[in-house]
């Protein structure tokens, strides 16, 4: 008898899981359920090109692909409960649907800042298309913006806004920006880049309150400093959506715990994407990542598992960011490194920072140097020993491999 797979969450992980299921030969029904009112769309442009122009967002696949892959879907529908004893889910409408296999691709949501004034009009978060549309509309009328949090989303927005002539101040509680993903040298690089474009970044400052009557007027910091603002954008991280998994009593840590096959603690339930806490074979410990490549790769692993092909999730994590005319691409993640080698003099201010343990490349941080990034990804996966004497000078990174 044909089996039914329900996928909860219609974004990057969900849609790649669904299409990969078909590619792995899943014959049964596939039903995707998402609580947004739009088909899966590209989320990364929301803090980049989408804020600049009046165009609509781009769908990951046209609607015709759902027919082609025989994927049914329900939009604007939330899954509220999982009953594992009879393998069913309950929707917000009260409707109950049975599954044979269930995939949780519930992603994450913006962490909220609960301080006085955080609910005033003019305070924004940016996680989905509706947040982005609301923000873009409001930006037409603002002159001064305070961004709380100097992570990638906050800084990407800062870059877009300042180029539109808006005065931007970024306030960060940590001692340096982008500290969760990059080392101090890269934090300094981005600090300087933003300063050159006129963005004021304040580090080591907490927020006391957001001030205003109905609408935001200013932001008061812990040290007494105050910044006027017509809009405040809060970008202080992402919380994994694990509430649904909790109704099935699945194991949760910093996300839904899955093994290298994307299996949760229940044999009929897999999970993929930003909502998971998974064993990384690159870090040799479990992590939760918030990057598109991981969501897509893990979704493919989950689809393989559901269709009886056990292929462990071992893809190298990578992500990118765009700020001004700089495209940052980062391959790999590491806790420790012994040496950094910098390759410079590429076009348009490009450079790469290569992080080594011994003579093996573990991570690469590339700015406007896509060729190095592509080579580095390959070298990291291959764990190849490199001749460190020529890494700075050899134009093709791949040619630095030590001959055996």
Residue ranges that bind ligand FAD, judged by CB under 6 A: 8-14, 33-36, 43-44, 46-47, 78-79, 105-108, 126-127, 153, 241, 244, 273-274, 290-293, 295, 319-321
Pick the closer one to ligand FAD by CB: 36 or 268: 36
Closest CB to ligand FAD among residues 292, 354: 292
Q: Give DSSP secondary structure letters for 38-80.
A: S--B--GGGGTHHHHSSPPPPBSS-HHHHHHTTEEEESS--EE
What single-letter DSSP state applies at residue 262?
Answer: S
CB of 251 to ligand FAD, least distance (A): 18
Q: Which CB atom, from 34 or from 117, has the smaller least distance to ligand FAD?
A: 34
| Closer residue to ligand FAD, CB minimum distance, 241 or 280 | 241
Q: Which is nearer to ligand FAD, 101 or 127 (CB)?
A: 127
Q: How far is the CB of 77 from ligand FAD (least distance, A)?
A: 6
- Of 78 and 265, which has the nearer Cβ to ligand FAD? 78
Decide: 138 and 229 in contact? Cβ < 8 Å. no
d(CA 373, CA 358): 20
Q: Smallest distance, Å, CB 40 to ligand FAD?
A: 8
Backbone φ and ψ of 41, nearest 5°: -130, 165
Strands 255-257 vs 269-271: parallel, antiparallel or unpaired: unpaired
Structure tokens at 170: 């970024």
Q: State the minimum distance, in angstroms, from the CB of residue 291 to ligand FAD.
A: 4
Question: Hey, what's the torsion of the CAs at 365, 371, 376, 378, to 10 degrees?
Answer: 140
Based on CB atoms, which residue is closest to ligand FAD, 43 or 356?
43
Element counts in the chain: helices (H) and strands (E): 9, 27
Q: How far is the CB of 154 from ligand FAD (least distance, A)?
A: 10
Least distance (Å) from ligand FAD to the CB of residue 390? Answer: 31
Q: Residue 71: what are its φ and ψ, rounded to 5°?
A: -110, 120
Is residue 306 left, alpha or beta, with left meaning phi > 0 and alpha meaning psi from -120 to 50? Answer: alpha
Smallest gap, in angstroms, from Cβ of residue 393 to ligand FAD? 31
């Amino acid at each position: 008898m044909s089996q039914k797979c329900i996928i909860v969450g219609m974004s990057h992980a969900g849609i790649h899981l669904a299409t990969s299921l078909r590619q792995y030969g899943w014959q049964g029904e596939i039903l995707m359920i998402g609580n947004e009112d739009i088909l899966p769309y590209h989320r990364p442009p929301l803090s980049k090109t989408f804020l600049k122009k009046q165009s609509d967002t781009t769908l990951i696949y046209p609607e015709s692909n759902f027919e082609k892959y025989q994927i049914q879907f329900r939009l604007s529908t939330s899954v509220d409960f999982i009953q594992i004893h009879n393998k069913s889910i309950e929707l917000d409408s009260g409707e109950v649907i049975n599954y044979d296999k269930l995939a949780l691709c519930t992603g994450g949501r913006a962490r909220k800042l609960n301080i006085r004034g955080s609910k005033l009009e003019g305070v924004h978060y940016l996680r989905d298309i509706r947040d982005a549309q609301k923000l873009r509309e409001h930006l037409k009328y603002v002159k001064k913006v305070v961004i709380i949090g100097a992570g990638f989303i906050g800084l990407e927005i800062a870059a877009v806004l300042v180029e539109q002539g808006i005065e931007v101040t970024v306030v960060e509680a940590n001692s340096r920006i982008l500290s969760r993903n990059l080392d101090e040298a890269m934090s300094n690089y981005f600090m300087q880049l933003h300063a050159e474009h006129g963005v004021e970044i304040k580090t080591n400052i907490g927020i006391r309150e957001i001030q205003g009557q109905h609408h935001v007027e200013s932001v008061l910091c812990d040290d007494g400093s105050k910044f006027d603002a017509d809009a405040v954008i809060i970008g202080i991280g992402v919380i994994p959506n694990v509430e649904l998994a909790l109704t099935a009593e699945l194991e949760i840590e910093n996300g839904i715990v899955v093994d290298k096959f994307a299996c949760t603690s229940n044999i009929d339930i897999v999970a993929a994407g930003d909502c998971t806490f998974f064993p990384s074979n690159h870090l040799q410990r479990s992590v939760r990542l918030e990057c598109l490549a991981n969501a897509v790769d893990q979704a493919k692993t989950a689809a393989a598992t559901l269709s009886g092909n056990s292929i462990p999730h071992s893809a190298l994590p990578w992500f990118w960011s765009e700020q001004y005319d700089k495209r940052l691409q980062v391959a790999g993640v590491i806790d420790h490194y012994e040496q950094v080698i910098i390759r410079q003099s590429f076009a348009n201010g490009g450079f790469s920072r290569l992080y080594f343990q011994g003579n093996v490349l573990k991570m690469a941080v590339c700015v406007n140097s896509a060729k190095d990034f592509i080579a580095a990804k390959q070298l990291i996966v291959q764990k190849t020993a490199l001749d460190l004497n020529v890494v700075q000078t050899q134009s093709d990174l791949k040619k630095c491999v030590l001959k055996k």
